A and B are shown apart, each in its own frame.
Chain A
């Protein structure tokens, strides 16, 4: 009793102690150079700017639309993934993460390459397509990024819904469509809300994507933070905006949680294994529709990325491997590619792999511990707190951590720390969903048989939860792999991961080589996720 009460408070203490000081440091850094009065004046002037509020409004609007759309697009897929077994389910799950780990620049070029004026769509259907620049591009790019997140969260939630509700509803005469609306919808609302919040926050702090497709008309708050931090070198301003962003995000998330919680969607019965039905139990027209859906989603996610692949294989208008040859030990003109990237390709591969593995291990163990101690009791306010790292801009967090702990904590550990914190909300939610597969009575049985907690972890928890753990790990791995900011800010250029190498090549104007590296990265990432997903299934089927 007391331990279940204490856990939330304890966790939030530790958690806030990690995330707040960096933000406050950045906020306080500006304080150093001026007197309190000047500092307060600066804060005020930032808050008085109309552009600040304009950006805030737009940040909220675009994030809400993007999140709503991502969730809407993901729902049918989540339904299929959670209810049916079909060939390629694993591949879909693995592949859908690929856009998620792409640096935003690559996704931008991909979206443009497909929907843009010189894009594939325009070339196929003719006409001068500028619609991506009207804000539609923001939504497209954000949805591409986040669809896998929504897919995983919602499918996870759906798998927790006792399938017998479906039978009860059917026996009461309810038709499938009505059932979806009146029964499933309220039951999966928590996971829909969860997915919405996560995607919302991701889009809320989005930067490059928004500017490219929205133009200056639609600069987000994150753009303002960058502006204050790197152009105006006004740390106070940046800190103020970061704090504002954090506060608004916290308020909005609380509000969403409050509004959706009021309805009192009770806990869904747990502990019962969900039996996915066979694919051919789906009626023929429904099957055709499902295939069509996956094809459309596949097109949506990969057709744009394919244009990037095509560009990587093109040189002066024709097919060429020159970019790849340059990448694998060649050079651009007089400069060796490895010298531009400041690392050899195998080294980049190993660094990316190692760093992501470390961070994923850290964040998933952290998430596991938190999820376990909070399994029975997760107060709404804590849920909000644990989601907040998503609302801190990566730059603020990394810079703050570095200012605070550099020299005290080794930089590798610091990067792992930053990445774990940033990945935590996602990983935690994922983990919480999976943890339901482990009823408390298993643990109690283990304890009664004399197993100590550590022993229990290896003999019961890990084997029973294996699939969920692997799934969560893969997610955490992806988040860490895609991280650019903290590696660059904390790693001081010496740690080179894929996104950093791409950024450097582009900085040297070698777009084609950068895209070739992007292709290698896609293959690398796709393979890793595939292997991870496959092993989790095989182990599952082996009866472990």
Chain B
């Protein structure tokens, strides 16, 4: 390990590959341990593409992403999966599976081909399910769950995986208010334990409350990023969403409401 500066997930001169879009501004940012990054942007700005590129799941158009000083392309997929965890926005539940089986696949990168999941793996999965208030659903089929419950199973799977870097694509999708807060508290708790977190969000106010850093992604490839307080200016956000906002202050923190 080459010193503290290289730790975490680092993008250098990164241009994500959104077909038919100019390069825009290359991204230079680091998701360091303990940081909670939020990615904001309108539909089609490339938030999911960015997240997948940061996870090494699709190649960038230019630039490089590295983890602990080594380019993602030079990591073995399995070794990478022990360090990076991805909460996907889209899921494929074509085949039957129970909630517990689904949480257990988070242990896949840690088990050799012949190893069965042991009691320790089961305990990790069950802890994750309990943390997401899913214990009572452990034996249920995924197909019988609601969208919000299914979303929590996805979080439980990555919690079972226990990665150093969390990449979460709209982790509060489909969640009710209580579980939105619970999900953000979970990610914040991970950051407190020295993990890096980067998440795509649609809710400005969740981002304002829970993120330490923000990246604003514009549809034309332009971007700006930095500490959350510096990024949460009404002018920048209004340009981002092409939507007038009303700012209120609550307990010293801004609350953004779309104006009519």
Whether chain B is bound by chain A comes out as no
**Which residues of A approach B to under 8 Å, CB–CB?**
none
**Which residues of B approach A to under 8 Å, CB–CB?**
none
